[in-house]
Amino acid sequence: MTFFYLFLGLSALLLASGALAIWRLWRRQTLMPYRVEGRLFSPSEARLLTALDAAVGPGRRIFGKVPIEDVIGVERRGGRQLQERAFARLAERRFDFLICDAQSLRVLCAVDLIGDRRRLFGSRADATLERVCRAAGLPLVTVTAAEHYDPAELAEALMAAIVPLRDEVHTRPANPAEEPASQDEDRLLAELAAAIRNDTD
């Protein structure tokens, strides 16, 4: 008889443990419906990243999917409403890629990939992003999603975006804090020019 009650007790304990495990699994899947996506970049983004690496050379680091508010700030001027609207323009937006100096990590250029199905704005360019970058003085290159990217063409596009804004900054009153960024841009431009020459040789 003692064995019988012991068996019943163990059976009840196992059933309770199983029910508790099932309840915990159900609760986790219901209240915390998350999963790992697997890959950080879509196939189109991965192809562009490979081409950008080849275009900018080893002296640069490329970061992907960076929230805009981590890079661009809002100046405290123009009143609270104006600042709130300025912050709202940055909400839920991100840079597909940022090209930075490998040593200083200064942001030199942003790249916006259009036509990728995982993009928030789909196949159209983000006009607000373009205006924000222009106002902040950050070069922005827009690239259309494709099966293949030519590193030399990307280098030319990056140079075409960086040079006008760099020259515009140089026409402003001198600011010692901007000198390191200017030197980083000069190094990037030199490497982009070398990449273009090597591709045409």
Is 151 within the bounds of a domain?
A: yes
Nearest to 195 by CA among 104, 116, 125, 99: 99
CA angle 144-149-155, nearest 5°?
95
* Beta-bridge partners for 179: none
Give residue-wise pLDDT tens across range 20-70. 667 676 666 666 777 787 788 999 999 999 999 999 888 889 999 999 999
Residue keyed to tokens 């309840």: 23
Is 182 within the bounds of a domain?
A: yes
The one-letter amino acid code at 78 reads G
Residue 7 CA to residue 12 CA, distance in Å, equals 9
- The shares of helix, strand and coil residues in the chain, as percent rounded to the nearest 5, are 55, 15, 30
Of 57 and 181, more confident: 57
Whole-model pTM above 0.85?
A: no
Is 77 within the bounds of a domain?
A: yes
CB 108, CB 185: distance < 8 Å: yes
CB under 8 A, 24+ apart: contacts of 87-95: 89/128, 89/132, 90/132, 92/120, 93/67, 93/68, 93/120, 93/126, 93/128, 93/129, 94/65, 94/66, 94/67, 94/68, 94/120, 95/65, 95/66, 95/67, 95/68, 95/71
Domain that holds residue 91: 43-200
Cβ burial of 33 (10 Å; 0-12, 13-18, 19+) is exposed
Residue 79: strand, helix, or coil: coil
Residue 99 CA to residue 111 CA, distance in Å, equals 8
Is 6 within the bounds of a domain?
A: no
Is 135 within the bounds of a domain?
A: yes
Is 147 within the bounds of a domain?
A: yes
Residue 99: strand, helix, or coil: strand
Residue 63 CA to residue 160 CA, distance in Å, equals 21
Give residue-wise pLDDT tens across range 103-138. 899 999 999 998 865 545 555 567 888 888 998 999
User: In 10 A of CB 64, how many CB atoms?
Assistant: 18
Is 30 within the bounds of a domain?
A: no
Split into its structural domains, the chain has a count of 1
Give residue-wise pLDDT tens across range 88-108. 888 878 999 999 988 899 999
Query: What pLDDT is stored for residue 176 in this prediction?
Result: 45
Is 5 within the bounds of a domain?
A: no
Chain center to CA of 2: 67
Of 139 and 38, more confident: 139
